[in-house]
Amino acid sequence: MPQTTIEGLSVYCEGDEAHQAIIFLHGFPFDASMWDAQIEELSDSYYCVSYDIRGLGASAVDDGQFTMESFVDDVETIVNRLKLKKPIICGFSMGGYIALRCVERLSDTFSALVLCDSVANADGNEAKLKRASILKRITQEGLEGFVEDFMNVCFSQAYKLSQGHLLQERITLSRTFSPIGVKGCLIAMLSRTDTTDFLPHIRIPTLLCCGEEDTITPPKVMQAMCDAIPNATFQLIENSAHVAPMENAKALNQALSEFLKGL
């Protein structure tokens, strides 16, 4: 995929730039390649832009001090540099936290919003303490054990059995990331604002997708988010836990294509 670097971010652009742009934001601790199946499907008709979130993948780690706000600044920089006109913003999990805050902060920039396996609420005390213990673990042990344990919670049992080699490749890739960058993302997530009150004010068409076995961002939480957004549709993705874009790319792509056709 053609790669370009924008202020230290590794950005990938696929398709005809005259087409409607979609900007894809990956989750934690993934990189832009988690969207490969969606970009392959959509890049004949859409200008697909993805990037490695700062601190992860091939993007710069800098000082490793990130906030959700600095992640939104990065999206704004990409949109401006690539001169994207009213892009659709599509975020998975942590990428969804960024996408939702982008829509709240950069009003009028985007024409539609897609949230996959993501939530609007900020971390409560329990989640903050869990992140603190992960930060400590990574400081003491590095990424090896954490990445394996975390990925095992993300993916369904069925995916582990049938696509175990792909999961192993993903674990191997994420273990190569910078521990400082990974910890920076954890701190950005635990310090993010809560966007729940903003949901009724979203004025653009919104699609929410959630794996039926997702225990990290559960379907009933996403259904409630959908109910709070004026022009939103909820799609449950069967045979998937947290990582619907990878675990059931076919169903996710179908939901995404139908939503895009309706815009």
Q: Please, which of residues 203-242 interact with ligand MLT by CB under 6 A?
A: 216
CB of 255 to ligand MLT, least distance (A): 18
CA distances from 196 to 104, 126, 244 (A): 11, 18, 22
CB of 223 to ligand MLT, least distance (A): 18
CA distances from 218 to 10, 122, 208, 237 (A): 30, 15, 12, 12
Give 48 or 94: the residue with its C-beta nearer to ligand MLT. Answer: 94
Q: Does 27 bind ligand MLT (CB under 6 A)?
A: yes
CB of 117 to ligand MLT, least distance (A): 7
The token pair at 83 is 């001169």
Give 46 or 97: the residue with its C-beta nearer to ligand MLT. Answer: 97
Give 47 or 155: the residue with its C-beta nearer to ligand MLT. Answer: 155
Q: Does 55 bind ligand MLT (CB under 6 A)?
A: no
CA distances from 187 to 20, 38, 44, 156, 177 (A): 33, 29, 37, 26, 16
Q: Does 252 bind ligand MLT (CB under 6 A)?
A: no
Q: How many residues bind ligand MLT (CB under 6 A)?
A: 6
3-state secondary structure 139-190: HHHCCHHHHHHHHHHHCCHHHHHHCHHHHHHHHHHHHCCCHHHHHHHHHHHH
Q: Which helix (H) or strand (E) holds 248?
A: none
One residue of 33, 93, 174, 235 binding ligand MLT per CB under 6 A: 93
CB of 93 to ligand MLT, least distance (A): 3
C-alpha 58/C-alpha 62 separation (Å) is 12
Q: Does 189 bind ligand MLT (CB under 6 A)?
A: yes
Can you give the binding site for ligand MLT, defined by CB under 6 A? 27-28, 93-94, 189, 216
